Amino acid sequence: MPGPCNPYWINIDFPQFSGRIFLSYKVIGGRATYGVKQANGSYKDSSGINVFDKMVTDAFKLTSKNDVVHLL
């Protein structure tokens, strides 16, 4: 989410299309803090290194989760 922990996270809204693009900038090899959802619904902070190959995989996973399939 945008905020002090993610200063390079930008949301661009397109109200005429009811859409939003999420942009973020992460330093490759830099340390990142993530909120990991727990079984009880709360979030716990976790940290890790931004590894390029994992970042690319994550980008493809996120994109495919947002694909819309139209059936004729």
Q: Using 50, 70 and 90 to split pLDDT, how confident is the model at 24?
A: confident
Judge whether 61 lies within some domain. yes
Confidence check: pLDDT of 6 > 70: no
Judge whether 71 lies within some domain. no
Q: What is the mean pLDDT of residues 31-48?
A: 82
Judge whether 50 lies within some domain. yes
Q: What is the mean pLDDT of residues 20-28?
A: 83
Query: CA Rg, the chain, in Å?
Result: 15
pTM across the whole model: 0.48
The kind and range of the H/E element at 64 are helix 52-65
How many domains does one find in the chain?
A: 1
Are the C-beta atoms of residues 2 and 10 closer than 8 Å to each other?
Answer: yes
Judge whether 3 lies within some domain. no
What domain range includes position 29? 9-65
Judge whether 33 lies within some domain. yes
Q: Using 50, 70 and 90 to split pLDDT, how confident is the model at 9?
A: confident
Judge whether 48 lies within some domain. yes
Judge whether 36 lies within some domain. yes
Please tell me what DSSP assigns to residue 16: G
